[in-house]
Chains A and B, each alone.
Chain A
Amino acid sequence: MGKTESCGCVLPNSTELYGKEMATRDAYGITLVDLGKKDSRVVVLDADLSCSTKTAKFAKSFPERFFNMGISEQDMIGTAAGLALAGMIPFASTFAIFATGRAWEQIRQTVCYSNANVKIVATHGGITVGEDGATHQALEDVAIMRVIPEMTVIVPADAYETSQSIYFAANYYGPVYIRLGRAKVAPVMPENYKFQLGKAHIFNFGKDVNIIANGLMVSEALKAAEILNKEGISTGVANFSTVKPLDEKALLKIAKSSRLILTAEEHSIIGGLGSAVSEFISENYPVTVKRIGIRDSFGCSGSWKELLKFYGLTSENIINTAKKYLKE
């Protein structure tokens, strides 16, 4: 575990991002510039995707602290580790599939085994990459980051939470992986929300069903819960934006009040949030858990809205799954 170190950054007026419907990558771009103004140790690396990851905003504001590494993710992660070990606070960004897949061993060996203070903020996580198709859709990134010792894994739900988690990462000492998305997401976090590492945000507890979600599935979970509650099925929703370390206390509390737990994530059901929840639940307080996510397959091309429907990442599928398994 890293220790918290002050980097001279106070939380900005992040209420600016409160309530905004915005892609989490856009919130990242805005927040990075704020961070860059406040702390000269913040440096940013990208691998030829700065316009898509939105680090280009930082590059324009602080060209001397921005390093375009070209199309070389392994070198980018290694260089970021070196910058961190020389006292800088590097944010390294590219698409999630390349950041975590192409450079996995560099992240394990050089970053985490050295406990280097590197922040890997990957955009284009999940199926909502859309038309580019399977090669560019990271459905395994949370799994392969979560498995590395020393790594912290965060999947924010909206722009407001993204901004807060980016500030958190800058002020925290140790490796952090933050997974962001391409598509616009609805605002879900309340105005008084304060991101805390390893602390789930519980919107409400359900007596029948509790939905544990992160990323854009929080929004779908809230829609599903509203309908289920109206139909007399007591349904709660929790945002587990920190996948690692998992909020075990909240999870135990949820398990104790649930007949059924549903997990919902824009990721493979293998290795991600659903797995993390199932691992804890099965060892500590067995309750039926059903996982909603990509069911062990590659993605495909299509508009992101179509893809969410195609893979069942919708409030409708959450509702149907809840009803089906409550009957059993």
Chain B
Amino acid sequence: MVDIENLKEKSRQVRIEIVKMLAQAGSGHTGGSLSSADIVTALFFYKMRHNPEDPKWKDRDRFVLSKGHAAPVLYTALALSGYFDKSLLGSLRKIDSPLQGHPCCKLLSGVEVSTGSLGQGLSVANGMALGLRLAGSPARVYCLLGDGEIQEGQVWEAAMTASHYKIDNICAIIDHNRLQIDGNCSEVMNIEPIEKKFEAFGWNVFTIDGHNMQEIVEALDMAEKIKGKPTVIVANTIKGKGVSIFEGKVQYHGVAPNQEELEIALKELGEDGKN
């Protein structure tokens, strides 16, 4: 049985660490880290087979953060999984830190590939999935993309590839929070209908509430059973989810909380902020 309550508690802890590290760094991407917190929590603390003691284990499931600016959610998931000490989170974006503004796999154990330039992760995830299939590994590859990110043409090249090569050990997840730096995705460059686009490219598509842990877990479980084609989960989310002052606010895409905002955030997340 999946302990949904435990996962919800985990995602609360993940959000606390995200706002804390961003506030300490004084810069970074708040909105998209919080919108994907429930998805990433479900992956690292429920779905993925991985071992922080052996980060290069060849049959581990892989996670590719194609939307590399959500680095804080990845760093938090890695720290809370035990890849490195939680105290390192405070070094985010500081000189000499392995926690770069966007993830670098050469510097930090558990990061599978360096990302940050949008649109490139799905191709890498496809390549990993093909390599694992060739090697006869049961491992699966999960790739998290932003919704604005799918404006990049390379995403659709990769969408074609996954379908053409019947890559069914890949699961893409779209963090559909509907906002990008310059405003609403629909106004900047309309991306809808996302589901129909992926269906037309030959993908199996699930649509879920990306903040409903039960739905996330079920979709990830179902995706594993789909054979002969890739699966994408379109997760409807709220940018800045979990902290009222950030929710649905485009200005928090790339801005970190100040001290006052941090205090509000920690209070809302049920943390007194003393530790």
A interface vs B, CB < 8 Å?
Answer: 43, 64-65, 67, 69-70, 72, 74-75, 77-88, 90, 105-106, 109-110, 113-116
Contacts and interface: CB of A to CB of B under 8 A. Distances in A.
B208 interface: no
A69 B157 CA distance: 9
Given A64-B134, A85-B112, A110-B120, A78 B128 contact: no
Contacts of A116: 113
Nearest to B68: A109
Interface stretch (B34-42, B44-52, B83-91, B158-166): B158-166
Given A67-B130, A74-B154, A81-B124, 5 more contacts: A79-B123, A79-B161, A82-B125, A88-B135, A116-B113
B128 A75 contact: no
B236 interface: no
B117 A105 contact: yes
The 4 A-B residue pairs with the shortest CB-CB distance in the complex, in nearest-first order: A82-B127, A78-B123, A86-B131, A75-B157
B221 to A, nearest CB: 24
Contact of A106 (B62, B120, B164): B120
Contacts of A84: 127, 131
Contacts of B126: 75, 78-79, 82
B135 A85 contact: no
Given A86-B135, A113-B114, A78 B130 contact: no
Q: Could you say which of B130, B153, B158 has the most chain A C-beta atoms within 10 Å of its C-beta? A: B130
A90 B131 CA distance: 10
B104 interface: yes
B127 A81 contact: yes
Given A67-B165, A106-B120, A109-B120, A81 B113 contact: yes
B158 A85 contact: no
A106 B104 CA distance: 14
B161 A83 contact: no
Contacts of A106: 120, 123, 154
A83 B130 contact: yes
A72 B131 contact: no
B131 A88 contact: yes
A85 B114 contact: no
A88 B128 CA distance: 9
B104 A113 contact: yes
Contact of B114 (A67, A70, A74, A109): A109
B154 to A, nearest CB: 5
A46 to B, nearest CB: 13
A136 B153 CA distance: 22
Given A75-B157, A75-B161, A82 B124 contact: yes
A114 B105 contact: yes
A119 B91 CA distance: 35
Interface in B109-123: 112-117, 120-123
A86 B56 CA distance: 10
Interface in B142-157: 153-154, 157
Contacts of B158: 75, 78-79
B127 A78 contact: yes
B129 interface: yes
Q: Could you say which of A67, A88, A113 has the most chain B C-beta atoms within 10 Å of its C-beta? A: A113
A279 to B, nearest CB: 26
B30 to A, nearest CB: 23
B132 interface: yes
A43 B105 CA distance: 23
Contact of A87 (B106, B114, B131): B131
A85 B111 CA distance: 11
A82 B132 CA distance: 10
Given A69-B161, A81-B113, A113-B104, A75 B131 contact: no
Contacts of A65: 134
A67 to B, nearest CB: 7
A86 B140 CA distance: 11
B131 A83 contact: yes
Given A78-B154, A79-B161, A109 B116 contact: yes
Given A65-B134, A74-B157, A82 B114 contact: no
Q: Could you say which of A65, A82, A116 has the most chain B C-beta atoms within 10 Å of its C-beta? A: A82
A36 B6 CA distance: 49
B135 A87 contact: yes
A84 B117 CA distance: 19
